[in-house]
Amino acid sequence: MGLQLAYVSRAECQARCNDDVLGIATFNGTPPPPAGAVGIPVARVNVTVLPHEQQPLYEVWSAGRPGTSGQHGRVRFRRTEEMLFGCIAVAERDIEHCDPGATETSALHEATAQVYGEVCATLSAQGYPHLLRVWNYVPDINRDSGGTERYRQFNTARQRALHASGRALSGPVPAASALGAVSDSPLVVYFLAGRLEPTFIENPRQVSAYHYPRQYGAHRPVFSRAALLRQSGSVTLFVSGTASIVGHRSLHVGDTVAQTRETLTNIQALLEEANRRAHGARFGLETLAYKVYVRRPADLPLIQSQLRAALGSAAQIIYLQADICRQDLLVEIEATGICALAAAA
């Protein structure tokens, strides 16, 4: 059995905590003690789970075989022969404290540079050169500071840090999500990396993010729309955070239902593209696991009813409240599909 993903409660997470777990992300949760005990990396993401009365959620990645844990700089990781899960958190507060005279770049810029520098250093030291999937949680992502939106500061620093580590800035770049986190929380990044190069997929309905025109920022966001990973027994599709963007423009400004539908149309188009290159695997909308980011909690029922209608009741879906990296976007959806292959494959 290969890579597996589950979104579960704390109790369920503890029940699943064994050697096979590669890494965990918690959303408004405290880390489960068994994970800490055996050195499983836990990314603590400071975003609210929806609906509000809902318990904390745990995103659990398992490898199907025992892993080995380690740490490189501030990156905590766990790896198998095929892949590595890692996470890092850096607080801007600590940066300001260390370097109060920094004027040329913001604390967020510096935190992002440190995070990406350490992630890339970890991957070269451990020998997992291919970043597959990255999750970025940036506190106050839409706030302006020094005349520039913080998401744009993050993009500038991410691009420079990847460049400084000798990495591509377009083409073979990881699938990703970048969302807001609660004010004053640290910048939290977690990721999956592999030994073998995945297939990166772009969306025929969208301009590649790494080719966005300059109106969205001086430095482009470095991510692919999806990554397709072939392993011994399975093919995994990592779908990046996807929103109501067609071409490079945000569509249906102010209309949550229409944005949700457009986002699903985008994911469907991406799936068709992925299926053409999926080495015999087949992905369908109803077979993915979804993480849905909702800007305004009051929109939850509208979004839920659209998704239930489109995906059926069996699909695994969790909802989080988060700011999305364009002010005019109200919903963003990421997804993961894991397709078992016949033993001969």
Of 176, 193, 288, 317, the residue at the interface with ligand 3EB (CB under 6 A) is 176
The stretch near ligand 3EB (CB under 6 A) out of 38-46, 102-110, 140-148, 174-182 is 174-182
Q: For residue 72, give both structure tokens.
A: 């490189």
3-state secondary structure of 82: coil
CB nearer to ligand 3EB: give 178 or 335.
178
Laid out side by side, the sheet with 68-72 consists of: 68-72, 75-79, 83-90, 187-194, 130-139, 175-181
CB nearer to ligand 3EB: give 119 or 209.
209
CB nearer to ligand 3EB: give 23 or 241.
241
CB nearer to ligand 3EB: give 4 or 177.
177
- C-alpha separations of 261 from 106, 109, 233, 289, 310 in Å: 37, 34, 33, 17, 9
Q: Annotated catalytic, 81?
A: no
Beta strand 148-149 with 144-145: parallel, antiparallel or unpaired?
antiparallel
Whole-angstrom distance, CA of residue 294 vs CA of residue 332: 7
Q: For residue 197, give both structure tokens.
A: 């190069």
Annotated catalytic residue within 92, 262, 273, 332: 332
Q: Tell me how far, at minimum, the Cβ of 122 lies from ligand 3EB, in Å.
A: 19
Contact call for residues 161 and 25 (beta carbons, < 8 A): no
Give backbone dihedrals phi and psi of 219, rounded to 5 degrees, phi first: -120, 135
SS (H, E, C) 150-205: HHHHHHHHHHHHHHHCCCCCCCCCCEEEEEEECCCCCEEEEEEEECCCCEEECCCC
- Residue 178 binds ligand 3EB, judged by CB under 6 A: yes
- Residue 29 binds ligand 3EB, judged by CB under 6 A: no
- Residue 245 binds ligand 3EB, judged by CB under 6 A: yes
Residue 59: partners with Cβ closer than 8 Å, 6 or more residues away: 5, 6, 7, 24, 25, 26, 27, 291
- Residue 333 binds ligand 3EB, judged by CB under 6 A: no
Of 22, 25, 325, 335, the residue at the interface with ligand 3EB (CB under 6 A) is 325
Contact call for residues 328 and 258 (beta carbons, < 8 A): no
- Residue 90 binds ligand 3EB, judged by CB under 6 A: no
CB nearer to ligand 3EB: give 243 or 278.
243
- Residue 241 binds ligand 3EB, judged by CB under 6 A: yes
Of 3, 89, 120, 243, the residue at the interface with ligand 3EB (CB under 6 A) is 243
Binders in 182-221 for ligand 3EB, by CB under 6 A: 209, 221
3-state secondary structure of 296: coil
The stretch near ligand 3EB (CB under 6 A) out of 239-247, 283-291, 301-309, 310-318 is 239-247
Interaction site with ligand 3EB (CB under 6 A): 136, 176-178, 209, 221, 223, 240-241, 243, 245, 325
Catalytic residues: 332
